[in-house]
Amino acid sequence: MISERFMHVIEMCSNAIAGRARSHRLLIALGIAVLMSGQAAAESCAELREQHGEDHVSIHCGGAPSATLDADGRLWVAFVQNKHVYVSRSDDNGEKYTAPVKVNAIPEDTEFNGENRPKIIVAESGEVLLSWTTKTSPNFTGEIRFTRSIDSGKTFETPRTMNDDGLMTGHRFDSLFLTESGKLYLTWIDKRDLDAASARNESYPGAAIYYTVSEDLGATFTQNFRVSRNSCECCRIAIAPHGEDEVAILWRQIYDEEIRDHAIAVLGAEGEVTGLNRATVDDWYINACPHHGPTMVQADAEGEYHISWFSAGNLHSGIHYGRYDMASGVAEDIIKVDGTPGAGHPYLAKHDDTLFIVWKGFNGIASQLQMMQSRDNGASWSEPQTLFNTERASDHPLLVSSEHGVFLSWSSEEFGYMFKELSHEN
Amino acid sequence: MRIRSILLASVLTLLSTQSFADNIQSFGTSTFAELKAGFADKPFVVSLWSVDCLPCRVELEMLGELKKEDPSFPLLLISTDSIENREEAVYILEEYELDGIESWMFADSFIERLRFSIDPAWHGELPRSYFYAADHSFTAHSGILTREKLMEFFSSAQ
């Protein structure tokens, strides 16, 4: 414990020193037009390992981090390292982080990759809520895990398995969302129906989408409810609010056994699934794992959603954006965001009247973190801007929004973990 | 002293052969170009797979049978998983009797560049396969590579 605290102090100090030099270098090297507030405190894991050894646990070394801001504007980040989920907090928007707290005491084969990462939400009353997927065999089986902290992240309850079928089958790609009214939705890709069909010798394309709801911030959950059969098996599920108590989700769904486009639906707290419809018509005929999940945020008009997705279909190829209307069942203002090969993994967020989209491109040498903004509800967009270039490995970019703004949450070998405010264009 | 060093050397050899008991090679940014050069004026098939890809298993099963029937079938089998997870890949390859042949695993965390070195137009979906004709003009295929598709490739190349 003492050494952990000591390491943390060293990490904080070196952050402060290295951060200044690096922020200048970044600015010069990239000539960024859009700027982020604060110092670039990101630190690469390689540097930390040199100082503290190979097993050093840090937000900059952890796999597939995801972030949230609590009601007081404090940043919480969950990441995976050495078969444990860890949580670290920052009270200054990512300048300094608290020593990571181990969430699961017993090691688990926790999934951590672009499409599969731990999710973290902090309720207004302070409960820290977490979900993730734990792999249970090399054959695509997994369990949806949930835990929470009721002492402000000091300790966590023993993780619970949320899929209630007791089957050794696929339960993966979890998504977690807390509505303003306090209903906690946990949804995932589930293979119980595939198993049942196989047992009857029936063919069954893909997997299924299931969910469960908690009305007491994770103390108890409902039974599992099915949203849809025949989902694609390997893409993250996007989730956004619908009214006060419900959520809308967007996922890759199999149509006509061969097409992998997207479906949308509204989930209610008692298992009601409404508005189930095809959201994208790309005609991507593929019997493969795209590993490219969609993103969505609520638009201003009721029942409208900004959505972005990747497809290599006959009708749409590349990253696309559209505004889906639940009432008409149609997406409008569809544009191709980036059709260059290697472009993927878009993420949307909104603040005031500005809609942000970030994604990753690749030009043959470097990965580029790209961004565009729209100030008219997605009708028109700014030119794409490159926020960062890196010639080393990097995670999918994520966005976190609060009443203060939109923040980029991104992990890369070169810059470590960064949490940066994206400024609005004037 | 000499005997001791010989003994030590053999123990070390034993240890090193044990830790690389599989037939998996590192796939880096220049590997694909090198492998292609090894097939100069010859047709070959590339199959890209991952431990995390269900449809890939169907393709691996077909390729396992194919290699059993024709051990000389020109196949480049490449896993896009990190070579650090080689045990898991070997476990799966064993299931399809593909552990006996040389195959490759991604050995650079910057996977975008490795993908690009194989095909700049590939989005990363799996399984992905390529049929290279003798003049190395190629056809790409996303989704499960079936025996029929493979035959179609070979017959159209003739």
Over residues A54-65, mean pLDDT = 95
Helix (H), strand (E), coil (C) string for A3-60: HHHHHHHHHHHHHHHHHHHHHHHHHHHHCCCCCCCCCCCCCCHHHHHHHHCCCCCCCC
Contact A138 B88 (CB under 8 A): yes
Output the six-digit token pair for B5: 């060093």
> A231-275, pLDDT tens digit by residue?
999 899 999 999 999 999 999 999 999 999 999 999 999 999 999
The two structure tokens encoding residue B29 = 């940014």
Closest CB from A289, A342, A391 relative to B55: A289
Cβ pair B116:A342 closer than 8 A: yes
Q: Which residues of chain B lie closer than 8 angstroms to A233, CB-CB?
A: 54
pLDDT over 70 (residue A26): no
Give the range among A11-20, A165-174, A337-346, B13-22 with minimum mean pLDDT. A11-20
| Chain B (10-49) residues lying within 8 Å, Cβ to Cβ, of chain A | none
Whether pLDDT at A197 is above 90: yes
pLDDT class of A133 with cuts at 50, 70, 90: very high
Integer Cα distance of B8 and A302 in angstroms:
75
Q: What does the pLDDT look like over A140-189, one tens digit per residue?
A: 999 999 999 999 999 999 999 999 999 999 999 999 999 999 999 999 99
Query: Which CATH code for domain B23-156?
Result: 3.40.30.10
Q: What is the ipTM for the molecules in this complex?
A: 0.82
What secondary structure does DSSP assign to A123-179, as a single string? -TT--EEEEEEEE-SSSS-EEEEEEEESSTTSS-PPPEE---S--SS-EEEEEEEE-
A367-380, pLDDT tens digit by residue? 999 999 999 999 99
pLDDT score at A5 = 39
Tell me the one-letter amino acid at A229: R
- How many CA atoms lie within 13 Å of A266's alpha carbon, on the beta-carbon side? 20
Q: How many CB atoms lie within 10 A of CB B98?
A: 24
> On the CB side of A101, how many CA atoms lie within 13 Å of its CA?
19
Give me the sheet containing A142-149, strands edge to edge. A119-122, A128-135, A142-149, A160-161
User: Of B52, B110, B144, which is closest to A392 when you measure between CB atoms?
Assistant: B110
Checking if the pLDDT of B4 tops 60, the result is no
For A140, which of B54, B91, B108 is closest by C-beta distance? B54
Q: Are A242 and A264 in contact (CB under 8 A)?
A: no
* CA separation for the pair A225, A271 (Å, rounded): 6
CB A86 within 8 A of CB A100: yes
Q: Looking at residue A16, what is its pLDDT?
A: 40
Report chain B residues whose CB lies below 8 A from the CB of A312: 123, 125, 142
Q: Is the CB of A361 inside 8 Å of chain B's CB atoms?
A: no
Residue type, A423: S
Across the interface, whether the CB atoms of A342 and B112 are under 8 A apart is answered: yes
- Section B106-130 average pLDDT: 95
Task: Say if residue A124's pLDDT is above 80.
Answer: yes
Question: Chain A, 92-151: which have a CB under 8 Å from a chain B CB?
Answer: 113, 138, 140
- Structure confidence at residue A18 as a pLDDT band (50, 70, 90): very low
Residue B53: its chain A contacts at CB < 8 A?
A: 234, 288-289
Please report, for chain B, the start and end positions of each structural domain, with discontinuous segments joined by +: 23-156
Dmax of chain B from CA atoms? 65
The more confident residue out of A378 and A37 is A378
Please give the residue of chain B at the shortest CA–CA distance from A340. B121
Which residue in the block uniquely carries the two structure tokens 């565009």?
Answer: A372
Amino acid in the structure at residue A32: I
Dihedral pair phi/psi, residue B19, rounded to 5°? -75, -20
The residue whose two tokens read 């050794």 is: A168
Asked if B126 is an interface residue toward chain A (Cβ–Cβ < 8 A), one would say: yes
- Count of residues making up chain A: 426
Best probe of the B interface among A258, A316, A362, A388, by most B CBs < 10 A, is A362
Contact status, residue A29 vs residue A23, Cβ threshold 8 Å? no
B86 lies within 8 A of chain A by CB: no
* Token pair listed for B40: 């100069």
- Residues of chain A neighbouring B112 (CB-CB closer than 8 A): 342, 362, 367
- What's the whole-number mean pLDDT along residues B126-146? 95
DSSP A379: S
Mean pLDDT of A302-323: 97
Give CA–CA dist A117/A137, Å, rounded. Answer: 17
Question: In the block, which residue shows the tokens 């995670």?
Answer: A395
Of A138, A312, A393, which is closest to B109 when you measure between CB atoms? A393
Indicate the average pLDDT of chain A: 90
Give the number of C-alpha atoms closer than 13 A to the C-alpha of residue B111, restricted to the C-beta side.
19
